Amino acid sequence: MLRPPDRYRFAASVRSLSMGRYDPCARWIGDTFWWTARTPAGPGTLALRRHGTDLTAVGYGPGADQVVAVADAVAGLRDDGADHFHQHLAKRHPVVGDVARRLSGVRLPATGQVFARTLRAVLEQKVTGVEAYRAYAATIRRFGTPAPGPAAGLWVSPDPMVIAAAPYWLFHPLGIEQRRAETLRRAARVATRLDGSGDPATATRRLTSLSGIGAWTAAEVVRVAYADADAVSVGDFHLPNTVAWALAGEVRGDDARMLDLLEPFRGHRGRVCVLLELAGLHAPRFGPRSPIRSFTRY
């Protein structure tokens, strides 16, 4: 049994762990949030359910004990910096203060799964959300394994060595071009080193030393793997506009402007971005949407 803090918001806290209602590795089924992981003991499935003011955590499979051992981190309950942010830093801007007050129960999860999150982040590079989801789901089902436990349709992220050994052209039918496929294979070859990073700074340094992985991908990974509250996804298509609109009323912004506006919240800049997005504070959008492409015929 886990004891969340007052006003804890379960669904919003674990939202970043899932790509949606059909995510093969993490999703809600009824009133239970299911999350899978590859552990040293083998694949494990974690079921988190609200029970009154508490959370219950149940594990399945060879890795059951290990996923239950990190259940509080997965739920965001190890996010010790949240209270300091809400009590002090959030007050430095009226919009941030208002959002932080409305979303005071949101905590950042920490999975400890660096390579698994890298796989998803690499497949999200420079494509639409629909393209990213399709490629991610197809990759999990092509190279992963069915998850243990009673929940149907769940999968465990692939063994990195399986990804590393796959030639890049095997990824084409999954909607992944050679550039992202090769980046993913490079990360898979050093997955043990990535997963053993121990802290966000080390993980960021190791990730960005790999060709094809930059600041955006590294931030997407460490914010979830380590609950790094300061990780800002520099290079994101929409985020600079969101921050500029929310904090300065400017319709468009670039990375430099975004970082300047976030500077008063250093240490929690990534948390501010998460809260702004959860609050739905998006800048007005103009022009046509990006086209959805397919690499399956190449």
- Tens digit of each residue's pLDDT (9 = 90 or more) over 106-119: 999 999 999 999 99
The whole-number average pLDDT for the span 153-176 is 97
pLDDT in tens, 196-236: 999 999 999 999 999 999 999 999 999 999 999 999 999 99
Confidence grade of residue 295 (pLDDT, cut at 50, 70, 90)? low
- Judged by phi (left if over 0) then psi (alpha if -120 to 50, else beta), residue 283 lies in beta
- Please return the burial class of 97, using the count of CB atoms within 10 Å of its CB with bins 0-12, 13-18 and 19+: middle
What pLDDT is attached to residue 113? 98
% pLDDT > 90, the chain: 93
Count CB neighbours of 105 within 10 A.
17
Residue 75 class from Cβ within 10 Å (0-12 exposed, 13-18 middle, 19+ buried)?
Answer: buried
Superfamily of 114-146+156-225 according to CATH: Hypothetical protein; domain 2 (1.10.340.30)
Query: What mean pLDDT is predicted for residues 60-86?
Result: 97
CA-based nearest residue to 38, from 223, 132, 163 = 163
Token pair in block for residue 56: 């219950």
Identity (one letter) of the amino acid at 173? Answer: P
Q: Which residues contact 4 (CB under 8 A, 6 or more apart)?
A: 10, 53, 54, 55, 75, 77
Task: Go through 210-243 and write b for each residue having 16 or more CB atoms within 10 A of its CB, e for each that does not.
Answer: bebbebbbbbbbbbbbbbbbbbbbbebeebbbbb
